[in-house]
Amino acid sequence: MALARMRTVVLDCPDPRALADFYADLVGGEVTSAEDDWVVLELDGWRFAFQRAEDFVAPTWPTGERPQQFHLDVTVDNVDAVEPQVLALGAMKHDVQPGVEAGDTFRVYLDPAGHPFCLCWD
């Protein structure tokens, strides 16, 4: 038996509301709580919170002094159709694409705060 239950995945960022809105546009869900320093997005029983970090510095993945520490993978039906929409939301396609290079089924992007995330397909 587990000792605890998952409550919230929290991402540090410079602008919590902007990043919550980005992910709501990307994967859906509803912003259920919004304060200056803490915004909660709920989706299919999951809670994602975006917490203001005044001194936030984006990861320098895949190399560098600041590792990504964790990232989100989201599934899409057609990455070529979705990519322009994700870029229009404020994401950036990463220069390093290990999935594409290896023939795998994912592409790496950076959210507006610089956190890596992947668009994956079957």
What is the predicted pLDDT for the residue at 102? 65
Fold classification of 58-122 is 2,3-Dihydroxybiphenyl 1,2-Dioxygenase; domain 1 (3.10.180)
What is the predicted pLDDT for the residue at 64? 82
- Enumerate helices (H) and strands (E) in the chain, giving the number of each: 3, 8
What is the predicted pLDDT for the residue at 52? 96
pLDDT beneath 70, residues of the chain: 101-103
Q: Where in the chain is the domain with CATH 3.10.180.10?
A: 1-56, 58-122
What pTM does this model have? 0.86
Respond yes or no on whether the N-terminal peptide bond of residue 62 is cis (omega within 30° of 0).
yes
What is the predicted pLDDT for the residue at 68? 82
CATH of domain 1-56: 3.10.180.10
